[in-house]
């Protein structure tokens, strides 16, 4: 009966206790970082600004219609009459309205080239946004793993303080019975003070890690879940570099910049040719009631511009050469970063293996020294030193495991694969084509413009 009562009481206590908040997983943290990143918001807005450049280029291909209304007042004062103009003092008012339309008929393909160049700039900015996304997610992974590491280190330091406290208590007991000297007790006291100082430092690092977590994820953590299995990586460094060369956002970005620079050369060439434009206008004099309609065509050819057109063309050629060289250098840098990330991961793997052996050896040494100390063959300082060696080995392994975990994601980022889509986070990602498709035809006030307003409202929300 007493057992039944205890079981019933335990169940009732569990039901009454507040439900423990679920632990936050790495996927939860990455989703939160993606949703709350101001850096992503900033670069998404820059992409929308680039989209508008494409719309502006399209608008330049269309006619420009101007409406002008004007009015004036003139006071005539003629006190010295002549044969043709008698003495007259009177006021006169004039007013008119006009509507004119003008359009560039031909300019060597300049308008189309400017549109294509703007599109390439949009695509380059999209790739830059992907690179920012990688940066945000890598910071989130680092913040999550480093916070878990800081918590583990605090746990080790707290355990160390408890162990040394017991050692100090045992040293005082042995001193009371005359087995050791006051020096041994003082050494234990000094070791305890050092352990408490290290614990305070670890707790400070934990506070720093919490702030880094909030900056990267968007909120303070409650309870962290264990680290999940890491994403798969290529089997070799060469495969990783091949993936990076094919699809790294930095390389794709510069590729589009090269194409935009090539269009810039073609645009500069058009300045040497003529421009044909047409115009039409309606004018109405409101005072006399007379009006007119006019249509005209104009051919414009610059004969001499002081060398400005030639300089612009040479500048465009230099910009294209610079973009091409930048593409080669970006490829080299991307491959270098892949190699560095791969090497760092290999170093972390080796450190984990070494620290595992170090922990096993340090544990055996600590157990042996402590046993020998009970027999009087070792001093209290020997025991404390062995315990510190064991603590350092455990801390080294935790740091190596954290570095390896972050290193795997760093390899993914160096390959250009650290994205919400590749990680399958399931978060509604920013659609860069939605806004572009809404503005690419340069809408003003129309059904398309209303659709654009809805997109903007959704983005703002």
**What tens digit of pLDDT does each residue of 150-172 get?**
999 999 999 989 988 988 888 88
In a domain, residue 212? The reply is yes
Res 413 pLDDT > 90: yes
In a domain, residue 334? The reply is yes
Q: Whose CA is closest to 280, among 88, 453, 63?
A: 63
- Rounded-to-integer distance, Cα 14 and Cα 35, Å: 36
- Give the mean model confidence (pLDDT) for residues 5-15: 41
In a domain, residue 127? The reply is yes
In a domain, residue 82? The reply is no
Q: Whose CA is closest to 220, among 230, 206, 200?
A: 206
In a domain, residue 84? The reply is no
Q: How many domains in the chain?
A: 1
210's CB contacts (< 8 A; 6+ apart) are 147, 220, 221
pLDDT of residue 9: 44
pLDDT of residue 275: 93
pLDDT of residue 372: 86
Res 6 pLDDT > 70: no
pLDDT band, residue 79 (cuts 50/70/90):
low
pLDDT tens for each residue of 119-145 = 999 999 999 999 999 999 999 999 999
pLDDT of residue 289: 78
Query: How many residues comprise the chain?
Result: 461
In a domain, residue 231? The reply is yes
CA–centroid distance for 342 within its chain = 22
pLDDT band, residue 85 (cuts 50/70/90):
low
Give the range with max mean pLDDT: 51-60, 80-89, 404-413.
404-413
- Give the mean model confidence (pLDDT) for residues 236-261: 96
pLDDT of residue 145: 96
Res 375 pLDDT > 90: no
Q: Report the sign of the C-alpha dihedral through residues 424, 426, 427, 430, in that order.
A: positive
pLDDT of residue 232: 93
128's CB contacts (< 8 A; 6+ apart) are 43, 249, 253
pLDDT band, residue 450 (cuts 50/70/90):
low
Which two tokens mark 234?
A: 């290529």
- Give the mean model confidence (pLDDT) for residues 274-291: 88
pLDDT of residue 87: 55
Q: Which residue has the higher pLDDT, 376 or 328?
A: 328
- Give the mean model confidence (pLDDT) for residues 346-366: 92
In a domain, residue 258? The reply is yes
Please report, for the domain that includes residue 36, its CATH number.
1.20.1600.10
Structural domain for 218, as ranges: 23-65+109-278+311-422
In a domain, residue 454? The reply is no
Entry pTM: 0.83
pLDDT band, residue 456 (cuts 50/70/90):
low
Res 313 pLDDT > 90: yes
């Amino acid at each position: 009966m007493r057992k039944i009562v205890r079981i019933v009481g335990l169940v009732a206590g569990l039901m009454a206790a507040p439900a423990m908040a679920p632990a936050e997983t790495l996927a939860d943290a990455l989703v939160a970082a993606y949703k709350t990143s101001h850096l992503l918001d900033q670069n998404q807005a820059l992409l929308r600004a680039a989209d508008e450049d494409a719309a502006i280029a399209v608008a330049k291909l269309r006619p420009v219609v101007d409406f002008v209304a004007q009015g004036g007042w003139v006071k005539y004062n003629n006190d010295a009459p002549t044969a043709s103009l008698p003495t007259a003092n009177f006021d006169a008012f004039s007013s008119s309205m006009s509507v004119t339309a003008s359009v560039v008929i031909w300019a060597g393909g300049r308008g189309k080239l400017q549109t294509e160049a703007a599109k390439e700039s949009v695509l380059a900015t999209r790739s830059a946004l992907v690179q920012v996304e990688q940066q945000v997610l890598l910071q989130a992974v680092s913040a999550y793993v480093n916070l878990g590491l800081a918590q583990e280190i605090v746990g080790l330091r707290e355990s160390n303080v408890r162990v040394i406290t017991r050692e100090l208590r045992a040293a005082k007991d042995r001193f009371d019975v005359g087995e050791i000297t006051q020096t041994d007790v003082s050494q234990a006291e000094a070791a305890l003070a050092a352990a408490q100082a290290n614990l305070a430092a670890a707790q400070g690092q934990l506070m720093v890690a919490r702030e880094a977590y909030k900056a990267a994820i968007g909120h303070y953590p409650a309870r962290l879940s264990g680290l999940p299995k890491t994403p798969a990586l290529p089997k070799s460094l060469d495969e990783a570099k091949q993936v990076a060369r094919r699809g790294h956002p930095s390389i794709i970005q510069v590729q589009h910049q090269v194409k935009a620079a090539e269009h810039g050369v073609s645009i500069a060439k058009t300045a040497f040719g003529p421009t044909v434009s047409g115009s039409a206008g309606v004018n109405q004099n409101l005072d006399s009631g007379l009006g007119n309609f006019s249509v005209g065509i104009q051919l414009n050819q610059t004969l001499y511009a002081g060398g400005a057109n030639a300089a612009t063309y040479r500048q465009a050629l230099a910009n294209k050469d610079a973009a091409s060289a930048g593409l080669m250098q970006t490829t080299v840098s991307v491959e270098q970063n892949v190699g560095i990330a791969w090497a760092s991961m290999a170093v972390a793997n080796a450190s984990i293996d070494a620290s595992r052996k170090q922990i096993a050896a340090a544990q055996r040494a600590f157990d042996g020294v402590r046993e020998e100390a009970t027999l009087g063959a070792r001093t209290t300082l020997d025991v404390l030193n062995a315990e510190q060696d064991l603590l350092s080995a455990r801390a080294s392994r935790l740091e190596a495991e954290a570095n390896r975990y972050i290193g795997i994601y760093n390899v993914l980022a160096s390959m250009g694969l650290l994205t919400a889509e590749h990680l399958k986070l399931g978060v509604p990602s920013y659609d860069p084509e939605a806004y572009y498709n809404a503005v690419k035809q340069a809408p003003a006030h129309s059904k398309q413009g209303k659709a654009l307003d809805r997109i903007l409202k959704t983005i703002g929300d």
